Amino acid sequence: MRERFVGRSGLAVSALGLGTASWGRDVDEHEARDLLTTFLDAGGTLLDTGASYGAGTAESVLGAVLADIPRDDVILVTKAGAPTRTGRPGTSRGALLGTLDASLGRLGVDTVDLWLVQRWDPQVPSEETLAAMEHAVTTGRTRYVGVANHNGWQTAYVHTRQAMRETGAPIVADQVEYSLVNRTAEAEVLPAADALGFGVIAWSALGRGVLTGKYRHGVVPSDSRAASDHLAGFVEPYLQGSAPSVVEGVCRAADGLGLSPAEVALAWIRDRPAVASALVGPRTAAQLKGLLTVEDVVLPDEIVSALDDVSAEAG
């Protein structure tokens, strides 16, 4: 699998990243091990998790399946910053560093490769959050830092403030939702990435699963996310509005090219400007194998243009 640098940093990651948000709940340890083996065998490196995923369960499962994997074979990304159980801000120095230490323990490692503050919190001075990120780098807890779910001006603000501090912990990435059914990142985040040199990691690159085509014609498969009690609300926004017409456009392109809808959608997002890696979250190794074939897919320019047009309302 091809690798790319995250922005203008020296951090190289695989063009597809393996998301673990459902590990420990929808994906058990046996399935997780199969997913990891399949991903690594295909040359994948980026493994994305977060302290808030299942209240740490995802990190624990990932740590268990990583136990026999050479540390240098993977790029570990985790996140902190969600509100604490007491409702206090999660981006304070104490909350951030405490959460990071707990993540390292669950993952069974001394350091992660990229640590992201996953939300903008106006209750905490940015200087405090940035100082905690710098401390995490200087103490060896993480090699790089970034943010997640920050819009363009928020990312530009923390990136610039960190640069003004002249620290050794620049903001190298913003992880945001980005796909053919959600192109809002193009309004601010991608232009800011181009101007400032940070990279974009796209989560839910398959539009929360709808870009696989599985929900066409209003059909909700019984084993899908949209049919589950805890994820139905997550998928539902993309079963209405302009999303179904985008999905139809992707499926038509896939039929014409002899590809799957998922391959078309992933190839489109993978090759967008500033995108370092696109995250996928399959629940089985068989699903993952069906996505990894995108490595050899290059969309014709006219197809890219058509997809841009049909998905314009998602921007």
Q: How big is the chain, counted in residues?
A: 315
Token pair in block for residue 98 = 């405490």
Are 265 and 289 spatial neighbours (Cβ–Cβ below 8 Å)?
Answer: no
Q: Is 238 a catalytic residue?
A: no
> Which long-range contacts link 233-236 to residues 24+ away (Cβ below 8 Å)?
234/208, 235/208, 235/209, 235/210
With both helix axes pointing from N to C terminus, report the angle between 261-270 and 301-310 in degrees, rounded to the nearest 10: 90
> Contact, 116 vs 79, CB < 8 A?
yes
Query: What is the rounded distance in angstroms from the CA atom of residue 239 to the CA atom of residue 210?
Result: 7
From 182, 184, 120, 179, select the one nearest 155 (Cα to Cα). Answer: 120
Joined tokens for residue 112: 């992660």
Which one-letter amino acid corresponds to residue 115?
A: W
Sign (positive or negative) of CA dihedral 274, 294, 147, 121: positive
Q: Which residues contact residue 37 at a Cβ distance below 8 angstroms, ignoring those fewer than 6 apart?
A: 285
Write down the catalytic residue from 53, 144, 178, 215.
53
Q: Which residues are catalytic?
A: 53
